[in-house]
Amino acid sequence: MSHHTLQKLVVRMLFDEAFVEEVYAEPSRALAGLELTDAERGQLLAVDRRAWRHDPLRRKRTLQTLAEEFKISTTIILAETRSLASLERFFSSAFFHRSIQERASMGRAFSEFLLEGCRNGAWRAPQIADIVRLEAAIAGCRRRLASEGAYEPGELPSTISDRARVRLAPGYDVGSFQANVIEAIQHVERFLFELSLMPAMALCDDAPKLTGLPEVEPSKKVYLLFGPGASGISMTNLDKAAYLTLYETRRAVEIKSLLSKPGAIRANTKQIEAVLSEWLDAGALMLSA
Amino acid sequence: MTKFAERIKALPRLGVGLSGEFNIAAKGIDAGWMKANHAELIHFYEYGGDLERGLDDTVRRWAAAGLPTTYHFLDINLEEKQDLDTHWLTQTKALAEEINAAWLCGDAGRWHFGLRERGHGMLMPPILCRESALETAESIQCIEAETGLACVPENPPSVIYVGELHMLDYFALVADRADCGVLLDCAHLAIFQQTRGLSPLAGLDAFPLERVVEMHVAGGSYADLDGFAYIEDNHSPEPLAETWEILEYVLPRATNLKAIVFECERNTPEECLDVFARLNSLFPLNKMEDAAAR
């Protein structure tokens, strides 16, 4: 189905001028591995090279959408790098190109790009990695809720066999983060609110600056449950036993299997049963076929 | 299923209409205001919708008043049959039925790349090849079968077209394979002809104009990028001369034409009244007047 291959190429070229240069300069290398006939390759190269640049705001519009989901991460990164190009590099990254080729989520690819930046030192703020993971978890919940639909818990059976399988309902997830992650997010939100009062103030030397992020305390953790709320995905604090139990239910798992490893979950059987009961009732967990 | 030639007889003649999309009344032309103040100029409302935003109050009020509508989708890749899921089909049908749409229409090609997800929205024309046209035709047949509504594909705008076919040959093939009508956007065709260095009317003599159910007219402007000239589909109030030339060539030959939309919703009404008047004189709502005019 080479018209699909061509369309994906068109998207990649519309976003990535460097890739356009490669395609025109060395088509056999740039297009290697793609199922294109010589004629199709010719049709692609027949497009005036300048035409790919006709929409100079395309990247920024898309970045705006991505930044809506990764608002805190991108703010910290821009404050640190003082460079829009640091984020625009996403569109030349393997993460972006792979997401287009594989018909995958660009938002997810963007989170992988941000995390890669943490790993390779492109951004150094110690708070950033956990904030990216937290925003990625929320984005993931939003997507699963949209694709699978909300789970409406009905009346649960009076007894549930320990052979029954449970899993987190669509739109739910759990994560563990450094203890000050929420404070860091609130700190950035306050900064963004102040800036939103008059965005042009960002041009001023005495504009508000993003400084004084709460320190990371790696030894202390906060455990969070993400799930659908009244206005999007909300967060609930968990204790460690609940987190470890629910973590196991990110994939469908037999209750018996959960109860058989209380040591690993660092809870006793009663605690695990209580967690399952509470979150089954609340609709965060569902019985799975 | 009956043939297009039979089915077209059941579609109403809607005359000249206005386009709009979610909450556009707050930023541009309010269809309700136009109807109240210039009832002689607009006779139906073409609502551009997607599942994410759904219907707005303007189109709901318009439909509640018993006024005609069409539903212009903004979120399906006709060229990519994989995109056509049950959810989209059932929800789109529900939205179209809620406003009693006479038919569905929309640009054939892609409204998003990959998944239907935030940030993926980008209108792209189809790859102009036979393989793509056949897949588009399959999608149209599927939509018509599942919704019970006619689905009328539109030639999309772009600065970049890839593929060996002329846009008109592509849509002729789609219409033939799907046995469907087409929506000919005169402004988009003018853009295509310019990118290929062709005259505005090139290829129209061989196009099955009896398939044209609806036409679009919109303003555009010439732009230049380092010496590369192209037309921006900016929906300004003034259609280009090439757009009028295409419209006036096709009108007397489009024997099954039911509707013309002036896509101008982001402007002020005052800027657009002359074009609405001209369109109404070219294509009166009353068919008898039209016959006399032709």
ipTM of the predicted structure? 0.92
Q: Name the residue with higher pLDDT: A276 or B257.
A: B257
Q: Which of B115, B131, B164 sits opposite A103 (nearest CB)?
A: B115
Closest residue on chain A to B129 (Cα): A3
- pLDDT > 70: percent of chain B: 97
SS (H, E, C) B66-135: CCCEEEEECCCCCCCHHHCCHHHHHHHHHHHHHCCEEEEEEECCEEECCCCCCCCEEEECCCCCHHHHHH
Chain A nearest CA to B242, separation (Å): 21
- pLDDT > 90: percent of chain A: 80
Average per-residue pLDDT for chain A = 93
Task: Check B114 against A99: CB less than 8 A apart.
Answer: yes
Q: How far apart are CA B175 and CA B134, in angstroms?
A: 10
In sequence order, which residues have a C-beta less than 8 Å from that of residue B277 and are 6 or more positions away?
B41
Chain B nearest CA to A102, separation (Å): 8
User: Which pLDDT score, from 0 to 100, does residue A230 have?
Assistant: 87
Closest residue on chain B to A140 (Cα): B117
Nearest residue to A172 via CA among A280, A92, A13: A280
Give Cα A260 distance to the centre of its chain.
32
What average pLDDT does this structure show over B7-28? Answer: 95
- The two three-digit tokens of residue B165, written as one number: 């076919």
Nearest residue to A186 via CA among A75, A67, A65, A78: A75
What average pLDDT does this structure show over A79-93? Answer: 97
Q: Where are the beta strands (DSSP E) in chain B?
A: 15-21, 44-49, 69-73, 101-107, 110-112, 121-124, 151-154, 182-185, 212-218, 221-225, 228-232, 259-263
The confidence band for A189, taking pLDDT boundaries of 50, 70 and 90, is very high
User: Which pLDDT score, from 0 to 100, does residue A86 have?
Assistant: 97
Residue B120 touches chain A, beta carbons under 8 Å: yes
Q: Which of B115, B124, B162 sits opposite A105 (nearest CB)?
A: B115
Task: Show residues of chain A in contact with B164, CB under 8 Å.
Answer: 39, 43
Beta carbon pairs, A and B, within 8 Å: 82
Closest residue on chain A to B109 (Cα): A7
The confidence band for A261, taking pLDDT boundaries of 50, 70 and 90, is confident
Give Cα B141 distance to the centre of its chain.
18
Task: Show residues of chain B in contact with A54, CB under 8 Å.
Answer: 159-160, 223, 225, 228, 230
Chain A nearest CA to B172, separation (Å): 18
What average pLDDT does this structure show over B270-283? Answer: 96
The confidence band for B1, taking pLDDT boundaries of 50, 70 and 90, is low
pTM of the model: 0.91
> Which amino acid is it at B126?
P
The confidence band for A233, taking pLDDT boundaries of 50, 70 and 90, is very high
DSSP element (H, E) containing B226: none
What average pLDDT does this structure show over B63-73? Answer: 97
> Which amino acid is it at B63?
A
Please check whether residue B126 is in contact with residue B132, taking contact to mean a CB–CB distance below 8 angstroms.
yes
Q: Residues A90, A93, A96, CA angle at the centre, nearest 5°?
A: 75
pLDDT digits (tens, 9 = 90+) for B125-184: 999 999 999 999 999 999 999 999 999 999 999 999 999 999 999 999 999 999 999 999
Closest residue on chain B to A102 (Cα): B114
User: Which pLDDT score, from 0 to 100, does residue B266 have?
Assistant: 93
What average pLDDT does this structure show over A49-76? Answer: 96
Task: Check B118 against A65: CB less than 8 A apart.
Answer: yes
Distances, alpha carbon B153 to alpha carbons A134, B220, B228, B265, in Å: 42, 21, 29, 21
Q: Name the residue with higher pLDDT: A266 or A39.
A: A39
A288 pLDDT above the threshold of 80: yes
Q: How far apart are CA B232 and CA B62, in angstroms?
A: 31
- 10 Å CB burial of residue A56 (0-12, 13-18, 19+) is exposed
Q: Which of B117, B122, B230 sits opposite A54 (nearest CB)?
A: B230
Chain A nearest CA to B89, separation (Å): 15
Q: At what angle do helices A2-15 and A38-45 cross, to 10 degrees?
A: 30
What average pLDDT does this structure show over B77-85? Answer: 95
A199 pLDDT above the threshold of 90: yes
Please check whether residue B42 is in contact with residue B70, taking contact to mean a CB–CB distance below 8 angstroms.
no
Q: How far apart are CA A6 and CA A76, in angstroms?
A: 37
In sequence order, which residues have a C-beta less than 8 Å from that of residue B217 and are 6 or more positions away?
B186, B187, B239, B243, B244, B247, B260, B261, B262, B263, B275, B279
Residue B292 touches chain A, beta carbons under 8 Å: no
What average pLDDT does this structure show over B229-245? Answer: 96
User: Which pLDDT score, from 0 to 100, does residue A162 have?
Assistant: 85
What average pLDDT does this structure show over B180-190? Answer: 98
SS (H, E, C) chain A: CHHHHHHHHHHHHHHCHHHHHHHHHCHHHHCCCCCCCHHHHHHHHCCCHHHHHCCCCHHHHHHHHHHHHCHHHHHHHHHHHCCCHHHHHHHHCHHHHHHHHCCCCHHHHHHHHHHHHHHCCCCCCCCHHHHHHHHHHHHHHHHHHHHHCCCCCCCCCCCCCCCCEEEECCCCEEEEEECCHHHHHHHHHHHHHHHHCCHHHHHCCCCCCCCCCCCCCCCCEEEEEEEEECCEEEEEEECHHHHHHHHHCCCCEEHHHHHCCHHHHCCCHHHHHHHHHHHHHHCCEEEEC
